[in-house]
A and B are shown apart, each in its own frame.
Chain A
Amino acid sequence: MGYRLGIDVGGTFTDLLLFHEETGRIWRAKTPSTPADQSIGVLEGINQVCERAGIHKDAIDSIIHGTTVGTNAVLEGKGGRVGLVTTIGFEQILHLARGQTPGPLAGWMIMMKPDPRASLEDTVEAQERMDARGHVVRKLDEADIRAKIEGLVKKGIESLTISLINSFANPAHEYQIRDIAKQVAPKLPVTCSYDVLPQFREYERAETAVLNSYIRPNVSRYLHNLESKLKGAKLKAMLNVLRSDGGLMSVHAAEDKPVNLLMSGPSGGVTGALFIANRAGFPNMMTFDMGGTSTDVSLNQGEASIGRETNIATFASQNTVLPIKVASVDVRTIGAGGGSIAHVPALTKALRIGPMSAGADPGPACYGKGGTAPTVTDANVVLGHLPPQLLGGKMKLDVEKAKAAVKTIGDAIGLEVHAAAEGIINIVNESMCGALRLVSVERGHDPRDFALVAFGGAGPLHGNALGAIMGSWPVIVPPAPGVLCALGDVSSEYRNEFTRTFTSTVDKTKPEDVVKAIKELGKKASDWLTSEGITGKAQHIRYEADVRYYRQGYELPIQVNPDKLLKGFGPLVNEFHNTHQRLYQFKMDVEVEIVNLRAIGIGKTKQIKLAKKKKKGAPDPKGAVTGSHKVYFSGAWVETKIYDRAKLSPGHVVKGPAIVLEEDSTTLIHPRHKGVVDEYSNILIYPAGK
């Protein structure tokens, strides 16, 4: 038992958190990120944190890393050149997609459809056919597909995807083609759709498998580089990456299925927030991670909610999303953040926020880097939510430039500049609430039963306002947002899931068939854990069945116990009826259908124990006050104290209105609210009377 290191590479900073498993001690470090070669910043951080801990680098046993390299490849359209093999008759599967054009009526007029990630030019058809039950209708023509793959390789594809009709029911032809491809080009990475997503709906499966191939070269290059740099720096640690579902996997596994890394970044945030919320005594919580261009929200009950569809907005088009069907933390992303630009269209004179963003360069007007467009951050500056001088004096904000930018909005809608700024904040908060409602009320949860964990660059500024609209208390602001993700890395467990489509109504199904199938999946999960070095009691296998009413389009995951299932489907069916009733206020007298079976393998890691700080005597935090400043709340200026977060201790109660500053985030506490500092240095915001 030794040292575990979590690394979160953000846009600006790289955060590191070192954890000693025996003593439970932790050390932190923070270095500027180095986008050109991220390993430089990482190694610099490792040196720092080891120095602080007084250990040699080779004492680190494992490194856990959340990475956005796959996501960025998709967003920037910079993945590899992918070849695609489809069943004959389906070469345009990605080109036609599901045929959807946006709403409202005549939305097709403004749709821009980006080219697929596997070009039609690089798509070939295999002469073969399976039926939906997995029986061979037409045998594969091997010579034909061999010649076609040779053609693709000659053209210069960097990665190959095989996605055949009905392969979810029988992957034999996909595997046959994979073996041929391996003979043609032994080093060419090949993705079979069955291995990535063995479920029906051919377009989604093909898109997911192609995306896997698309980001494969980027992810592989990045991880190899990092691994060799670490080795070069005499590190012996095993490198693990954080999966989209909050679990861990080895670099080797990640290279095979990089599509599992697409939400690696957000999952670090959710895992870290869960760690903090669970320890603070609020296992039921929503996360609110507001960054510069986008915001992620999720709802969790003691553990991360896992969704099985991720919609990724593509770089080329705001109104087209890719449905990527892999397990990931159930995060909703909306395209609004601190950098979102406010504008007023001429005809309606309505105030709109986004989807355009000022990005990091030139950034909001108040950064003084040449930006003039009014952003959400500028509105925060105009209102005094963000004091002009941030802590440490590293960065000054230009209030006059912010005012000039926001004034253009005020002029357009006939409002004075502060009222306009408040409008911008209110509207952006409303979109955030829309996203929070989707993860809570839409799924049958009352947001008033959940705490709200606010993090990310702008989360702590907006968290209090959201808590008030949603009735979600407390709003938890953890210390140091970057550290939160690194903490998520270190606190995560090994996780992988194995799913297969089953599709059979319970009246026509024998329990023993289901049990047999699901135990096979359990065996796969166990084997995977073993291959990741997790054995014996550290292995936990959990089983789920996706269930729906016959022919419904969406399933509900229901937990099952294989041994109990042998006795009959009664409890499973009841649980499904009840869940359906809770979510949608009705149940039906229709056959219940099992659609997918799933085994989830979890490998326990030793958990971090954060040291509790003792409460001090007096709740009044006057020693932490560094100054005071006027802030605009609901139409009036209010004198507001500014606090240094580093000087706040457990037991302190910060009365709103207040601003709490720390190195890379600012917390705003509204009038008639209070911030209670808990034993883990979180600020818990409540209405004053609560």
Chain B
Amino acid sequence: MAKAMKKSTKSAKPAAGKTKKVKIDPITMDVIENALKNARYEMDATLFRTSVSPSIREQHDEFPIIADPEGRMLVGQFGSWLGDLKNHFPDSIDEGDVIFTNDPYMCGGTISHLNDWLIQMPIHYKGRLVGWTSMFGHQNDTGGPVPSSLPTDATTIFGEALRIPPFKLYEGGILNDVALNIILANVRQPEMNRADLMALVAACRTGAQRIRDLCERFGTDVYLAGTQALMQRTYNAMKSLISQVIPEEPQDFEDYVDDDGRGFGPYKVKVTIWRKGEKAYFDYTGTDPQSEGPINYYLNEHLLKMFIGVYLIMTHDPWILFNDGFYPLVDIHIPEGTMLKPHHPAALSCRTHLLGRQFDILGGALCKKAPQFLTGAGWGSSPHMIYSGYDAEGKWFNAFEIGFGGIPARPFADGMDGHAMWPLFTNQPAELMETYYPMRVEAYTSVIDSGGAGYHRGGNGLLKVYHFLAEGEVSIHDDRWLTYQWGVNGGSKAMRGKKWLKRADGSIEYVASKCDHVKVYPGDELFYQTWGAGGYGDPLTRETARVQKDVRFRLVSPQKAHDEYGVVIDPKTFVVDEEATKKLRAEIASKRGPAVPFDMGPPLAEILKNCKAETGLEPPKPPVFKKVAKMPIYKSKPSMSKLVLKKRVA
């Protein structure tokens, strides 16, 4: 990893591919770009139509990429660095080989927990390597001590789930079914995993075929030259973008993950950003040391560069096609032994909160000096609900759902209520869950007043009520129950999330943010309420008509309209008293003073002091950081023996 980093950051120019010098006109380039985009969407379509687990098929927790022969992403939704993985195969990776792994430590953090099953395959055209295609998808379950394989109490990766080192699932087109059998024997719903795995392979094959079509159409040299030109184009665009928007003076930003599931927290994550010449520097010094619990996020530097690039592009110029071409322009420093680069074998499974939080701090730091591009905080977490047990027919079930929250207020608009921060994710229909699992969904609605007030309102969080019909166990993964989603430029912080069980007898129990083995019985109801997102700009300046509409639509209460927006509305007729509103707004403004750039809520000490009273849960204890040793990572010997292979072919 370190070696690859050095190589790519030494010169501030993209590395030239090993291609013949071919002159490429801008039009051919654009045609290739369009064809690449089409191929990537075809990969998604194939996967959705054939996969079985709801997380991939209904929720779209899957990420395709198409890369150049060096492994650099040309097109994709999220992306993963392929460079490291192929180093596991010193012999060679040949036509018909398909590589499979789920181990973050053995692929340099390309994927970041064991649930993500990653497929990667070379693309050959007339015997020549012309690229790579790759896709990963979140498996419902990948073995280990708890259903859905995200144990909150694991202290090492060995306690989380089955580890699959990189190996050739197919070698020369032949399936290694011995290895596959061992893997499937270790998961709870083997047929589901098999189907999803085959669906990933089918999608990658689709992508590979499209690239071969392009080579046939344009000639391999033209195709490859076109891809290099596309990366150069993104490099050029990002060069001018970086020099426009990243200041030379360092800007820092910090935020927290609330707890580690073992009763400790909050954990701090910090970034400092500056520019020197044409290069941008991102330094994570100041981030807390690794946690003993599974909330560490083993962050691949290349993936982080992609996050940074996408963020800059989306805030400033969505027309830029995103690829790996600009990576030499960004330099990353993540200190080893921190939560973002923990020593092997630190536990990783619940990394989703930190993954989200680093987007919040990136947004905060990048736009601190350009507040017009700021958005409120919104990445809260990726709330999980897992319910497993045996249904009335004695059949094992394992429901797994990723919930959503509020979308932040943006410089030009309100945030959406109860939508996904992750790209292209969709929710699970109540009717689907009720058809397949012993439960009813009693409500699915956004939570009134939960979005941060602002000139643009932060999106409301969601409330989903699950009514259980069979005895079973529930696991929860969530965050932002303690710290707040902040508002910006005078916009307010949002309401925090909370979860509680209403037992069949009517009693109420608050449920921790990260927990396993919560016993539930028929008639119990889980109320899962997620966090809203932060507001943007001074709520006292929001047009009264927009406030009135939110009240009419039951998204904001008349009380909140009064207290935070300073708008006086008749709760029955919804008529706005403009005169009273003017007076009230002046009154609030004089009491409050000038709007603050970031509304983070009260100081941490106060939040912790009031924790029990406000949330019903004990406050987490301050994290204890122990010195941890580094265990060597197993170097896999991944190939089938050629001899065995030959015999089997015969």
Contacts and interface: CB of A to CB of B under 8 A. Distances in A.
A442 B46 contact: yes
Given A89-B445, A345-B317, A103 B77 contact: yes
B426 A100 contact: yes
A108 B421 contact: yes
Contacts of B607: none
A469 B49 CA distance: 27
Given A131-B434, A132-B431, A551-B192, A434 B38 contact: yes
Nearest to B444: A90
A454 to B, nearest CB: 20
Nearest to B555: A120
B396 interface: no
A590 B184 CA distance: 14
A352 B311 CA distance: 21
Q: Which of A89, A422, A589 has the most CB of B within 10 A?
A: A89
A104 B30 contact: no
Contacts of B552: 120-121
Given A347-B320, A442-B45, A92 B418 contact: yes
B89 to A, nearest CB: 24
Given A131-B434, A347-B320, A552 B195 contact: yes
B176 interface: no
Interface stretch (A11-19, A30-38, A110-118): A110-118
B413 interface: yes
A552 B426 contact: no
Given A96-B446, A107-B314, A200 B429 contact: yes
A561 to B, nearest CB: 26
B600 interface: no
Contacts of B52: 549-553, 590
Nearest to B206: A442
A509 interface: no
A92 B404 CA distance: 14
Contact of A554 (B49, B210, B306): B49
Interface string B431-463: 110111000111111100000000000000010
Interface in B296-323: 306-307, 310-311, 314-315, 317-322
Interface in B335-363: 359
Given A109-B314, A553-B51, A585-B205, A345 B413 contact: no
Contact of B407 (A93, A108, A137, A352): A108
A348 interface: yes
A586 B430 contact: no
A351 interface: yes
A503 B435 contact: yes
Contacts of A588: 191, 194-195, 198
Contact of A98 (B233, B240, B317, B427): B427
A201 B429 contact: yes
A426 B27 contact: yes
B156 to A, nearest CB: 30
A590 to B, nearest CB: 5
A414 B25 CA distance: 10
B30 A106 contact: no
A389 interface: no
Given A89-B465, A200-B435, A347-B317, A553 B48 contact: yes
Nearest to B418: A96
Contact of B445 (A90, A111, A433): A90
Contacts of B421: 101, 108
B443 A203 contact: no
A549 B195 contact: yes
A551 B407 CA distance: 30
Contacts of A438: 38, 41-42, 45
A201 B426 contact: no
Interface residues of A, number: 77
Contact of A350 (B46, B321, B375): B321
Given A201-B431, A437-B42, A112 B444 contact: no
Contact of B429 (A203, A419, A551): A203
B34 A434 contact: yes
A202 to B, nearest CB: 5
A99 B440 contact: no
B275 interface: no
A352 B27 CA distance: 10
A430 interface: yes
Contacts of B498: none
B35 A430 contact: yes
Interface string A83-95: 0000011111101
A457 B267 CA distance: 62
A100 B33 contact: no
Contact of A120 (B27, B407, B553): B553
A119 interface: yes
A351 B53 CA distance: 40
Contact of A202 (B422, B430, B443): B430
A132 B440 CA distance: 9
Given A104-B78, A348-B233, A109 B34 contact: no
Nearest to A319: B318
A93 B446 CA distance: 10
Contacts of A414: 26
B630 interface: no
B237 A95 contact: no
B564 interface: no
Interface in A59-109: 88-93, 95-96, 98-109
B637 interface: no
A557 to B, nearest CB: 13
Contact of A590 (B54, B191, B432): B191
A554 B48 contact: yes
A431 B46 CA distance: 19
Nearest to A112: B413
A86 B307 CA distance: 40
B31 to A, nearest CB: 5
Given A165-B431, A434-B35, A95 B446 contact: yes
A112 B410 CA distance: 11
A588 B192 CA distance: 10
A348 B418 contact: no
Given A100-B419, A105-B307, A469-B217, A585 B26 contact: no
Interface in B175-229: 191-192, 194-195, 198-199, 201-202, 205-206, 209-210, 217
Given A89-B442, A427-B30, A552-B50, A168 B424 contact: no
A584 interface: yes
A89 B432 CA distance: 16
A467 to B, nearest CB: 14
Interface string B263-278: 0000000000000000
B57 interface: yes
A108 B375 CA distance: 11
A327 to B, nearest CB: 19
Contact of B30 (A95, A165, A423): A423
A474 B41 CA distance: 28
B423 interface: yes
B310 A551 contact: no
B440 A200 contact: no
A347 B240 contact: yes
Interface in B35-77: 35, 37-38, 41-42, 45-46, 48-54, 57-58, 76-77
A170 to B, nearest CB: 12
A298 to B, nearest CB: 16
Task: In the A-B complex, list the 3 residue pairs whose CB atoms are closest, starting with the nearest.
Answer: A89-B443, A423-B27, A103-B423
Given A92-B417, A96-B445, A438-B38, 14 more contacts: A90-B430, A99-B418, A103-B424, A108-B420, A109-B315, A111-B419, A113-B419, A347-B320, A348-B236, A423-B27, A549-B195, A583-B49, A585-B202, A586-B198
21 contacts: A91-B445, A96-B444, A101-B407, A101-B425, A107-B314, A108-B378, A108-B415, A108-B416, A120-B552, A120-B555, A137-B440, A415-B26, A430-B30, A433-B38, A434-B37, A437-B42, A442-B206, A503-B435, A551-B53, A551-B54, A589-B191
